[in-house]
């Protein structure tokens, strides 16, 4: 899980593979109503990865998992076996997902309050948005490109992330004064690094208007987006688990969104009360920033929510502050009584290796690097063993 294979040989424009994938990207652009950031350079992706889009706009796509199994389904006059139909449908889904990922701008992730590209919250939200698009349009894109009847599965490839995000689109409708579809469109058209901030800005403008001085905005963004970031990134271990039943991931996504909604709404009401009361008592006078006592309340509320997660049996992702390295380094030395606990420890070590402070000194992704933001190939439906 820790490594990303290097890209393979270039796939040239005069090949079937290139032309088919380019047609998938074109149809994805058409259905999304937005242009791709692909620079038209395509490379083979070795290993168990469907493909990635590089920071320079080039893309990789797997021959083994996408291009080769897709080809029979898009060959005119070809009579497909049952296995070939399903393999071509699955390959189409992966190609559409990768094409949809190319529609997202990365943005500058070095400013205050942004989401670093490849951070857990960025991965969760981008995966969910691309997953929902793929489930909605994957079959229609296949129908527009072949006369074969290809089964393109609409079940989420990221059930925890996608379920949580779907519910949050509805719960955030009220404070943003946008319908779920409108809010989703806003996020889709916003650079990945700014998506959480754009939610906060919309809430501030809608709920508080000109009562908030511009100098307060950066801090309020953090106060409002904290629960959203934690609610989505906190699902990473559940989503990555191979032992967790897909139905359980759906449930965890739903419950995580419910808890996130509660924390977000109560924090927002506290913020509104601060500015409303000041405006009522000192009309026309610039208000002070939120008092330290209110920020302590936010922290207490965050701890309460973490405790609820722990009591529901969801694996904790963060150790006690200041003791992270000692905690994670000790995980590999323990003996675990069952497969579930062993997997949790391995996932914790993996997450630590990608979220430790030293990893965040330079969050910009160079042209030759790949953010760790892609899903392992395999089946979109993981093993049917449950941990609950």
Report the share of the chain in percent with pLDDT over 70: 79
**Mean pLDDT within 297-307:** 89
- Find out whether 355 and 120 touch, Cβ atoms under 8 Å: yes
pLDDT of residue 306: 83
Taking the chain, what is the end-to-end CA distance rounded to the nearest angstrom? 24
248-250-253-259 Cα dihedral, nearest 10 degrees: -70
- Confidence band (pLDDT; 50, 70, 90) for 253? very high
pLDDT in tens, 120-151: 899 999 999 999 999 999 999 999 999 999 99
Alpha helices per DSSP H over the chain: 16-32, 68-70, 82-101, 120-145, 159-171, 173-176, 180-188, 195-207, 217-233, 236-240, 246-281, 292-311, 324-331, 339-355
Instruction: Please answer whether residues 115 and 195 qualify as being in contact, where contact means their C-beta atoms are separated by less than 8 angstroms.
Output: yes
Give the SS3 label for residue 144.
helix
Q: Reply yes or no on whether the pLDDT at 374 is more than 90.
A: no
Q: What is the mean pLDDT of the chain?
A: 84
Identify the pLDDT of residue 3: 45
What whole-number distance in Å separates Cα of residue 358 and Cα of residue 258? 33
DSSP 8-state secondary structure symbol assigned to residue 53: B
Grouping H, G, I as helix, E, B as strand and the rest as coil, residue 44 is: strand
Provide the 3-class DSSP secondary structure of residue 10: strand
Over range 306-318, report the average pLDDT. Answer: 70
Give the model confidence (pLDDT) of 67-81 as tens digits.
999 999 999 888 999
Residues written for the chain = 388
The whole-number pLDDT of residue 312 equals 77
* pLDDT of 95 over the 80 cut: yes
- The string of DSSP letters for 163-188 reads HHHHHHHHHTHHHHT--HHHHHHHHH
Residue 60 forms beta bridges with which residues?
A: 43
pLDDT of residue 369: 33
pLDDT at 307 over 90: no
For residues 18-34, give the mean pLDDT: 97
pLDDT recorded at residue 81: 94
C-alpha distances in angstroms, 116 versus 182, 207, 363, 384?
24, 27, 6, 33
> Which residues are within 8 A (CB) of 321 and not within 5 positions of it... i.e. 6 or more apart?
none
């Amino acid at each position: 899980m820790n490594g990303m294979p290097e890209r393979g040989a270039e796939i040239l424009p005069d090949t079937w593979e290139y032309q088919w994938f380019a047609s998938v990207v074109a149809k994805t652009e058409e259905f999304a109503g937005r242009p791709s950031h692909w620079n038209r350079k395509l490379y083979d992706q070795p290993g168990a990865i469907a493909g990635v889009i590089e920071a320079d706009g080039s893309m990789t796509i797997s021959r083994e998992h996408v291009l080769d199994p897709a080809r029979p389904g898009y060959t005119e006059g070809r009579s497909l076996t049952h296995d070939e139909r399903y393999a071509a449908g699955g390959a189409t889904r992966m190609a559409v997902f990768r094409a949809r990922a190319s529609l997202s701008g990365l943005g500058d992730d070095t400013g205050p309050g942004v989401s670093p590209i490849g951070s857990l919250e960025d991965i969760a939200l981008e995966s969910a948005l691309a997953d929902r698009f793929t489930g909605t349009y994957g079959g229609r894109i296949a129908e527009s490109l072949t006369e074969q009847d290809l089964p393109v599965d609409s079940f989420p490839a990221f059930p925890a992330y996608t379920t949580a995000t779907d519910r949050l689109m509805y719960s955030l409708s009220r404070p943003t004064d946008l319908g779920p579809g409108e809010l989703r469109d806003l996020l889709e058209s916003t650079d990945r690094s700014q998506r959480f901030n754009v939610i906060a800005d919309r809430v501030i403008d809608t709920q508080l208007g000109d009562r908030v001085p511009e100098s307060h905005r950066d801090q309020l963004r953090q106060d409002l987006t904290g629960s959203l970031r934690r609610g989505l990134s906190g699902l990473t271990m559940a989503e990555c688990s191979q032992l967790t039943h897909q139905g359980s991931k759906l449930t965890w996504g739903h419950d995580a969104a419910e808890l996130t909604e509660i924390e977000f709404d109560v924090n927002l009401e506290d913020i509104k009360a601060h500015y409303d009361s000041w405006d009522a008592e000192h009309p026309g006078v610039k208000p002070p920033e939120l008092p330290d006592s209110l920020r302590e309340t936010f922290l207490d509320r965050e701890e309460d929510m973490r405790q609820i997660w722990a009591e529901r049996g969801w694996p904790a992702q963060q150790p006690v502050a200041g003791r992270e390295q000692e905690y994670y380094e000790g995980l590999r030395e323990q003996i675990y009584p069952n497969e579930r606990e062993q997997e949790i420890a391995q996932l914790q070590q993996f997450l630590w290796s990608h979220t430790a402070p030293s990893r965040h000194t330079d969050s910009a992704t160079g042209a030759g690097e790949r953010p760790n933001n892609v899903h392992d190939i395999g089946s979109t439906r993981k093993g049917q063993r449950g941990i609950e």
